[in-house]
Amino acid sequence: MTMMTTTRRGLLGVFAATMVTAAPTMSNAFGILRGAGDVRRIRMYSGRTGESVDTVYWIEGEYIKEALKEINHFMRDWRTNDATVIDPRTIDIAAASHRLMDVSEPYMMLSGYRSPKTNAMLRSKSKGVAKNSLHMKGMAADLRLKSRSVPQMYAAAAACHAGGVGKYTRSNFVHMDCGPVRTWGG
């Protein structure tokens, strides 16, 4: 474990020194970060659980299994404590958007995985919750940044052309998912 921490710290230093800020190049294939470097990092915290994650999850064309497990646990349904495998493409979209906004602040994650029970409860309280939400498949995240507006976050995520992006200005968050490319919200 100490060796992994040391390696990650070293990689984070290298990453910070060589961070690529250019927009990702997209093609018809799902290639969210083509040409965007060999290291991908995600930083988030949860106001609900008090937990945070700051990890390099991709190095030189490979996802890091231990980092993905950490992300899966972090993004669990905090109401039921149920977890699932988070689709790494969702993390890729969030990481690419974060990079495009050129911020150091971690995302505040409002919602990652949702169990069917939690989704049904939220749906009973709001018309804005989809019956077959991609949150239940580990394919979506609702995120917020203090230093960027909802329109700025929305524009960065939409620029990735890699999934669904929803703008929730009144609730101050952006939905990002790795489903079909589409946008919504006002």
Looking at residue 131, its pLDDT comes to 87
Examine the pLDDT at 24 and tell me if it is beyond 70. no
157 closest CA partner among 171, 134, 140: 140
The beta strand positions in 18-61, using DSSP E, are 39-45, 52-59
Per-residue pLDDT band for 123 (boundaries 50, 70, 90) equals confident
Distance of CA 10 to the CA centre of its chain: 23
Residue type (1 letter), 37 = G
Prediction pTM value: 0.79
Query: How confident is the model at residue 37, as a pLDDT?
Result: 59
Highest mean pLDDT among 27-36, 124-133, 167-176: 167-176
pLDDT, greater one: 78 or 31: 78
